[in-house]
Structure 1
Amino acid sequence: MDRTFTHLSASSKTALIDRDITHIARAMRLSLQGDLAGPILPPAYWRERLYKLLDTGSLTHPQLCAVDSLLLQLDQFEAQPPLAWDELAPATAALFPPTHEAGAEHRA
């Protein structure tokens, strides 16, 4: 089977990089928020993705600024201490108040 390599035009390559940066910006924020177990994907994963973009060597100035901003966000995330369990809001701070009185018996 013959494989022919297609060369992307500069505008196509720029558009692909723009899409990748946009995707990383959206997904990274949600991934780092994660859940009670921590981030879904670690900061090292996102840092590696951003470094791969930098290694392409064909980023425009706005793209470089966007990647730099995302790297700074990762630095800031890693500098923040993780939230301790005892600092979490108590169960009494729930969004909805309980529908029954504490200690009340159930009546049928």
Structure 2
Amino acid sequence: MSPTRRRKFLSHELRSIDGEIEHIRLAIERELSEEQTAPVLTIAYWRQRLLNLLTGRSLLAHQRDTIFGLLKRIEQYDDI
């Protein structure tokens, strides 16, 4: 793979990860909101999605920090 093509691939992957992190963040906020009476998916599901992002990928520091922040946010909740 040429260096230019590799940079484009990595750039696309990093944007994709940003989008996935944002999606999970919004979902967690919705699940933990007081307005939500019955969760659509469990906190354990979202925790696993975050942990999956941490493994096997090259993440930027701000992406790791955001993931760890979301994990910290949900650790106070039991599986609902």
If the length of structure 2 is used for normalisation, what is the TM-score? 0.77
Structure-2 residue corresponding to 1:25: 25
- Bigger Rg, which one: 1
Letter matched to residue 16 of structure 1: S
SS of the residue corresponding to residue 29 of structure 1 reads: helix
Tell me the distance in 1 between the aligned counterparts of 2:32 and 2:39: 4
The C-alpha deviation readout for 1:30-82, integer Å capped at 9, x for no partner, is: 023331xx43221100011001101133111000000000000111233xxx9
Q: Structure 1: give runs of 5+ residues left out of the alignment.
A: 1-6, 83-108
Q: Which aligned segments of 4 or more residues in structure 1 are displaced greater than 6 angstroms?
A: none
Greater helix proportion = 2
The aligned amino acid for 1:42 is T
Stretches of structure 2 lacking an aligned partner (at least 5 in a row):
1-5
